[in-house]
Amino acid sequence: MFVLVRVVLLVALATAGFVAYGYLLALLATLLPQGENLQSAVALLLLQGFLAALLVGGAMSYPIAWLAGRYALWAALAAAVPVLVFRLPSLFDPTVHGIITAISLYEVFAYVTLLVVGTWSVHGRLGEAGSDPV
């Protein structure tokens, strides 16, 4: 029963992370000023993707590591699946400009990497403290 509760909580956490990531990207797009030329616009979009991935990955790392225990890395990868599922089709769309595809690929890579590395780091600290729940 306790395992089922953990799985449900991990699914809810992955959903919340996906929604928070989307809203944070939209919020950062409105808060940060638009670039006046192509180079500054691309740099700004890369910064927005990194900041959103950093904030959501940082906020989700501890709960994932605590809930999943020794399976924390797998749980972090599973939590990143919603972002991958909704972003990957646009990466292979031939009508999308190459720069937009590269920015989207970077955002997906940053989200997955920061979530997995953050969870791995927190899991190592939780393991040292002897608080691994599994």
Specify if 30 maps to a domain.
Answer: no
Q: Are 118 and 58 in contact (CB under 8 A)?
A: yes
For residue 1, name the pLDDT band (cuts at 50, 70, 90): low
Claim: this prediction has a pTM higher than 0.95: no
Specify if 29 maps to a domain.
Answer: no
Residues in the chain: 134
Specify if 21 maps to a domain.
Answer: no
What dihedral do alpha carbons 81, 23, 126, 77 form, nearest 10°? Answer: 10
Residue 126 structure tokens: 């939780």
Specify if 93 maps to a domain.
Answer: yes
Specify if 134 maps to a domain.
Answer: no
Does 132 have pLDDT greater than 50?
no
For residue 128, name the pLDDT band (cuts at 50, 70, 90): low
Q: Which residue range is the domain that position 114 belongs to? A: 2-12+39-128
Specify if 34 maps to a domain.
Answer: no
Specify if 31 maps to a domain.
Answer: no
- Give tens-digit pLDDT for 79-120: 998 888 888 887 788 888 888 888 888 989 999 999 999 999
Query: How many domains in the chain?
Result: 1
- Give tens-digit pLDDT for 29-84: 999 887 788 888 888 989 999 999 999 999 999 999 999 888 999 999 999 988 88
Specify if 27 maps to a domain.
Answer: no
